[in-house]
Amino acid sequence: MDGDSQTSTYDVVVIGGGPVGENAADYAIRGSDRTAVIIEHELVGGECSYWACMPSKGLLGPGSALAAAAALPGARERLSDTAPDRSGVLGRRDEITGGRDDTSQVEWARNAGIDVIRGHGRIVGEREVAVDERRVAAREAVVVATGSVASIPPITGLREARPWTSRDATNLVDVPERIVVLGGGVVACEAATWLLDLGVRELTMVIRGNRLLPKNEPFVGEMVADALTARGADIRFGTEFESVERPDAADTGYGHLHGGPARVTLSGGDVVEVDEILVAAGRRPATRELGLSGIGVEESGPLGVDDHMVVAGHPWLYAVGDVNGRVALTHMGKYQARVAGDVIAARAEGRNLDSPRYSAFADHGAVPQVVFTRPEVSAVGVTEEQARADGIDVTVAEMDIAVAGTYLLDPDYSGHAKLVIDRARDVVVGATFVGAGTAELVHSATVAVVGEVPVDRLWHAVPSYPTVSEVWLRLLESLR
């Protein structure tokens, strides 16, 4: 850092210290004498560490472990209860979020040579950012990594009812007896899973479409819906919130019940009375109050970028992670951050950007995701429907998963798998696995998709016996 008393100057200024901002700063200066600063107005570590990925997976882990033991003769007899211990689960979650203390993340940044400034960052000119009364200038680049915020749809009485968002569901302190969940995407399905684990008595899901997890192959939503229904969830498809009444809504803090009971009127006229409402209806990129309109950039939608992560018309401005609207997943945001960091370093050192290393091409059609429901959903690439819509001539291999590896996990194992293959190129363009133990399987499919490995060649990638991966062999056999 250098500069006069009003302005600090760094080579790279990153606004937003979530996992993506941290990686962008690190990759942009790693192994050089360049300087970087992260500006963060809440907690270094971001949504992912304290409010999203980490606490949610912490809440889901104990239920999964018990379900795995309950499925296995010899282990199941030792279980006195298949419901997780509520205080143990919440304690484990608190340990994972470290009491929302970001000291260790700030230390990590400082050890990596990155300064941290606390405060709200706002772009006030080319390569210039204001943090409250301070000014911070960038010699090379400003990177926006401000993430996203939960959307609350404009429904009569909903905002006034102070519903829970994912921040409350992941940081829950009170476990509602009765809850209604709006939305059928990833947050809704994972949260429904842990809320049932924690003993919610009545859980209603209100889905405006006709399936859960609609971005996936249709069998995904069916299997997850069947599992949630079997555990007592009441899933209402083709239904929306009409209006909400909650006379004594109150700001009681994250994870506490936000007031007394609420009455939710659904389309069709049914009324659901609940102790809490969880809104899981998607997220919007955090582009407001960033000063974008001052530099001529639209601030209402995502901050769009090219594959180098650069904002059009502003070669000094980069956007990575949820804020650019490409893929709202931590691992993909961190991938974009590695690309952006490498691009910033290459430009600073006068290198050209010809190598694939400088292009985030996996964002287009090679995105892996695991949804940690029970059953787990693990997918990469495009669905059959998307591939056909893109004009690709596809063939599919599809079957229930039943190999020695799954029988060893559970004699009554239930799972399903599908490969989507581009006929002309003879390569896998999409893969979906649903079932216990499939999360660790998806990377093999990601390698096949990104590597464009011909199916004939995949035949020689022999899965080990007796693992769940042997489903690959069965799928490839079905194509011969």
Ligand X SMILES: Cc1cc2nc3c(=O)[nH]c(=O)nc-3n(C[C@H](O)[C@H](O)[C@H](O)COP(=O)(O)OP(=O)(O)OC[C@H]3O[C@@H](n4cnc5c(N)ncnc54)[C@H](O)[C@@H]3O)c2cc1C
Ligand Y SMILES: NC(=O)c1ccc[n+]([C@@H]2O[C@H](COP(=O)([O-])OP(=O)(O)OC[C@H]3O[C@@H](n4cnc5c(N)ncnc54)[C@H](O)[C@@H]3O)[C@@H](O)[C@H]2O)c1
Nearer of residues 13 and 476 to ligand X, judged by Cβ = 13
For residue 130, the tally of other CB atoms under 10 A from its CB is 17
Task: Quickly list DSSP for 372-399.
Answer: -SSS-EEEEE--HHHHHHTT--EEEEEE
Q: Is the peptide bond before 466 cis (omega within 30 degrees of 0)?
A: yes
If one asks whether residue 240 binds ligand Y (CB under 6 A), the answer comes out as yes
Chain centre distance of CA 456 = 33
If one asks whether residue 285 binds ligand X (CB under 6 A), the answer comes out as no
CA-wise closest residue to 59 among 157, 159, 200? 200
If one asks whether residue 323 binds ligand Y (CB under 6 A), the answer comes out as no
CA atoms within 13 A on the CB side of 265: 10
Binding to ligand Y in span 403-422, by CB under 6 A: none
Contact window for ligand X (CB under 6 A) among 34-42, 61-69, 427-435, 439-447 = 34-42
243 class by beta-carbon count within 10 Å (0-12 exposed, 13-18 middle, 19+ buried): middle
> 356 by DSSP, 3-state: which?
helix
Q: Which does 437 bind (CB under 5 to 8 A by kind): ligand X, ligand Y, none?
A: none
If one asks whether residue 51 binds ligand Y (CB under 6 A), the answer comes out as no
Binding to ligand Y in span 146-175, by CB under 6 A: 153
Contact window for ligand X (CB under 6 A) among 240-248, 320-328, 344-352, 435-443 = 320-328
Report the alpha-carbon distance of residue 50 to residue 71 in Å, rounded.
32
Would you say the C-alpha torsion 272, 150, 324, 26 has a positive or negative sign? negative
Nearer of residues 19 and 184 to ligand Y, judged by Cβ = 184
Contact window for ligand X (CB under 6 A) among 48-56, 384-392, 434-442, 468-476 = 48-56
Q: Which two tokens stand for residue 82?
A: 């298949």
If one asks whether residue 470 binds ligand X (CB under 6 A), the answer comes out as no
Binds ligand X by CB under 6 A, chosen from 20, 181, 344, 431: 20
User: Which strand ranges, in their side-by-side order, compose the sheet holding 276-279?
Assistant: 234-236, 202-206, 178-182, 276-279
Q: Which does 414 bind (CB under 5 to 8 A by kind): ligand Y, ligand X, none?
A: none
Contact window for ligand X (CB under 6 A) among 42-50, 78-86, 216-224, 424-432 = 42-50
For residue 364, the tally of other CB atoms under 10 A from its CB is 11
Q: Is the peptide bond before 375 cis (omega within 30 degrees of 0)?
A: yes
Measured CA angle at 165 (ends 160, 171), to 5 deg: 125
**Minimum distance from residue 166 beta carbon to ligand X (Å):** 4
Nearer of residues 60 and 339 to ligand Y, judged by Cβ = 60
Nearer of residues 147 and 381 to ligand X, judged by Cβ = 147
Nearer of residues 113 and 325 to ligand Y, judged by Cβ = 325
Beta carbons of 415 and 433 less than 8 angstroms apart: yes
If one asks whether residue 261 binds ligand Y (CB under 6 A), the answer comes out as no
If one asks whether residue 38 binds ligand Y (CB under 6 A), the answer comes out as no
Nearer of residues 238 and 454 to ligand Y, judged by Cβ = 238
Nearer of residues 190 and 470 to ligand Y, judged by Cβ = 190
Q: Which residues of 281-308 are buried (b: 16+ CB within 10 A; e: fewer)?
A: bebbbbbeebbbeebebeeeebbebebb
Q: Which does 46 bind (CB under 5 to 8 A by kind): ligand Y, ligand X, none?
A: ligand X
Beta carbons of 143 and 150 less than 8 angstroms apart: no
Nearer of residues 8 and 432 to ligand Y, judged by Cβ = 432
Binding to ligand Y in span 351-370, by CB under 6 A: 369-370
Binding to ligand Y in span 167-226, by CB under 6 A: 182-188, 190, 208-209, 214
Report the alpha-carbon distance of residue 249 to residue 136 in Å, rounded.
41
452 class by beta-carbon count within 10 Å (0-12 exposed, 13-18 middle, 19+ buried): middle
Contact window for ligand X (CB under 6 A) among 12-20, 196-204, 271-279, 389-397 = 12-20
Report the alpha-carbon distance of residue 339 to residue 307 in Å, rounded.
9
Binding to ligand X in span 108-167, by CB under 6 A: 120-121, 145-148, 166
If one asks whether residue 302 binds ligand X (CB under 6 A), the answer comes out as no
List of residues contacting ligand Y (CB under 6 A): 153, 182-188, 190, 208-209, 214, 240, 280-283, 328-329, 369-372
List of residues contacting ligand X (CB under 6 A): 15-21, 39-43, 46-48, 52-53, 56-57, 120-121, 145-148, 166, 170, 187, 286, 290, 321-322, 328-331, 333
